[in-house]
Amino acid sequence: MSANSVAPGAQQKRFAAYLDRLAQAAGHLDRVVPLKSYCTGLLLPGERKSVEPMAARLCPDNVRQTHQSLHHVVAHAPWSDEDLLERVASTFCRRCRSKDRS
């Protein structure tokens, strides 16, 4: 963690846990970081959500490689859509059920 970083709060920890669950559906370890980066990039400020502007926001010192990595994970997503969507659904259904009990 850099000197300018702050310890992650509850929201960041929940997001990290969610990305970990999605990454399990990625099918291969090489896809985990690009998938997490892409999801993070979608939530960053900025109007353009295409991979090049996201790469510039995610890693301004290494835009070319980050762009290539993001593009590859989006354009050649070899994981099972069903597995990925099942992880998304199970996460949100679990959250809804726990809120219903509150």
Report whether 52 contacts 66 (CB < 8 A).
no
Break the chain into its structural domains and give their ranges. Answer: 13-101
101: pLDDT confidence band, cut at 50, 70 and 90? low
Question: Is the whole model's pTM more than 0.85, yes or no?
Answer: no
DSSP string, 1-30: --TT-----HHHHHHHHHHHHHHHTTSSGG
User: Which has the closest alpha carbon to 58: 83, 38, 81?
Assistant: 38
d(CA 26, CA 34) in angstroms, rounded, equals 10
pLDDT tens-digit map of 17-62:
999 988 888 878 888 999 999 999 999 998 888 999 999 999 999 9
Q: What is the model's pLDDT at position 2?
A: 45
What's the angle, vertex CA 36, arms to CA 27 and CA 88, rounded to 5? Answer: 70
Convert the pLDDT of each residue in 60-82 to its tens digit: 999 999 999 999 988 987 788 89
